[in-house]
Amino acid sequence: IEQLPDLHNHFSDLNLEAHMYASQWFLTLFTAKFPLCMVFHIIDLLLSEGLNIIFHVALALLKTSKEDLLQADFEGALKFFRVQLPKRYRAEENARRLMEQACNIKVPTKKLKKYEKEYQTMRESQLQQEDPMDRYKRENRRLQEASMRLEQENDDLAHELVTSKIALRNDLDQAEDKADVLNKELLLTKQRLVETEEEKRKQEEETAQLKEVFRKQLEKAEYEIKKTTAIIAEYKQICSQLSTRLEKQQAASKEELEVVKGKMMACKHCSDIFSKEGALKAAAVSREDQGIESDDEKDSLKKQLREMELELAQTKLQLVEAKCKIQELEHQRGALMNEIQAAKNSWFSKTLNSIKTATGTQPLQPPQATQPPKEST
């Protein structure tokens, strides 16, 4: 009456008593209809301030809904308390403002106790003075109203139950469909994993075989290099020996020529012969014979030298071919290792995306496979 006199007069005209709408608030601490965010604030204030905060919250609800309640009739007011008022405080901000307004309402404890005593005294006097027939009629009307309210609540609950069952069934169907899709994806992922592991095993076997081939080729190339090195050393040694031999033969020929000349000059007859044209011819003949023998030996040595140079050139060519082949094999090995790494990265990204899809998260963009380095000649 003191806080909201006009609303009190309107409720009196409608014969709308407080127990018809507030009893559920007080008995359930506003948990029956109001959202949990508002109930949590009320319980916090209850533990902090005491039981009087319940009356403060009730007065704050009536104050905030005063304009709507003044325009409503009996049924409209009950429906407003049951449906529209709880929906208004689903927002966290509205519930917070309501709590602030409830904390600002001041209702002295002594005055509440005084109202309680006056109400009990008034009820006792009314019961003593009231005609039993009127009391029964009023109680009957109150029970009818309560019955109508309960029937309406029952209808609302039945509608909510049917709606919730339908929604639950739809959610269950969607969950089953999603589970089937996930199971199929899981099977595909497992199959891909098996295939990838098999491919990985084959690639590892191929890599091992290539390594073995590379090792053999490398050993062969090293053997060819050693052989070529030995041939070159032997060739150098032969050339050195031939040069030494040629120098010795030239020195021996000169010595023999000097000895022959000395003997001819010692002989008088031979000296006469050599003093004339015959001496020149003989000397020329001896020189020609010696030159022919020297030319034959030089030709033989040159021929052997050409053969050795040809053999050396062939050996160098084989060495170059072996090096080229080794370089080509190393390049093939590098390309194969890059392909194996790219296959591993691709398999890992596919597996990760499949797992994330199976768990319901959004897949990330698959990482791009590393490009193999450009081939170098």
Whether residue 274 is predicted with pLDDT greater than 70 in this model: the reply is no
Nearest residue to 186 via CA among 366, 15, 357: 357
The dihedral of CA 289, 290, 295, 300: what is its sign? Answer: positive
**Sorting pLDDT into bands at 50, 70 and 90, what band is 185?**
very high
CA distance 137 to 250: 161
Within 8 A by CB and 6+ apart from 20, the residues are 78, 142, 145, 146, 149
Query: Is 357 or 133 the better-scoring residue by pLDDT?
Result: 133
Query: Is 228 or 363 the better-scoring residue by pLDDT?
Result: 228
> Cα-flanking dihedrals φ and ψ of residue 29, to 5°?
55, 40
The mean pLDDT of 357-374, rounded to a whole number, is: 48
Burial of residue 61 (number of CB atoms within 10 Å: 0-12, 13-18, 19+): buried
pLDDT of residue 358: 66
pLDDT of residue 285: 44
Chain mean pLDDT for the chain: 79
The mean pLDDT of 259-279, rounded to a whole number, is: 63
pLDDT of residue 279: 44
| Other CB atoms within 10 A of residue 307 CB | 10
Whether residue 280 is predicted with pLDDT greater than 50 in this model: the reply is no
Whether residue 191 is predicted with pLDDT greater than 90 in this model: the reply is yes
Instruction: Give, as one character, the DSSP assignment of residue 368.
Output: P
pLDDT of residue 133: 80
Residue with tokens 């020996």: 241
* Per-residue pLDDT tens over the stretch 39-71: 998 899 888 888 888 888 988 898 888 888 888
Amino acid at 350: K
The dihedral of CA 239, 243, 244, 249: what is its sign? Answer: positive
Within 8 A by CB and 6+ apart from 45, the residues are 53, 57, 99, 102, 103
Whether residue 365 is predicted with pLDDT greater than 60 in this model: the reply is no
Kindly report the pTM of this predicted structure: 0.35
The mean pLDDT of 320-325, rounded to a whole number, is: 77
**Sorting pLDDT into bands at 50, 70 and 90, what band is 228?**
confident
Counting residues of the chain whose pLDDT is more than 90, the rounded percentage is: 14
Nearest-5° Cα angle at 39, 34 to 41: 140
Longest dimension (CA), the chain: 198
Whether residue 368 is predicted with pLDDT greater than 70 in this model: the reply is no
Whether residue 286 is predicted with pLDDT greater than 60 in this model: the reply is no
Whether residue 131 is predicted with pLDDT greater than 80 in this model: the reply is no
- Residue 29, by phi and psi: left (phi above 0), alpha (psi -120 to 50) or beta? left
Whether residue 369 is predicted with pLDDT greater than 90 in this model: the reply is no
pLDDT of residue 187: 93
pLDDT of residue 376: 37
* Per-residue pLDDT tens over the stretch 132-184: 787 788 788 889 988 998 898 899 889 989 999 999 999 999 999 999 999 99
**Sorting pLDDT into bands at 50, 70 and 90, what band is 282?**
very low
Residue environment code for 65-99, b if the CB has 16+ CB neighbours within 10 A, otherwise e:
beeebeebeeeebbebbbeebeebbeeeeebeebb
The mean pLDDT of 317-325, rounded to a whole number, is: 77
- Judge whether 143 and 319 are in contact, CB under 8 Å: no
pLDDT of residue 363: 42
* Per-residue pLDDT tens over the stretch 3-29: 788 888 888 888 888 888 888 888 888
pLDDT of residue 377: 26
pLDDT of residue 292: 65
CA distance 309 to 239: 10
| Other CB atoms within 10 A of residue 253 CB | 13
Q: Tokens for 138?
A: 């009023």
- Judge whether 33 and 24 are in contact, CB under 8 Å: yes
Which of 202-216, 304-318, 323-337 is modeled with the greatest confidence?
A: 202-216
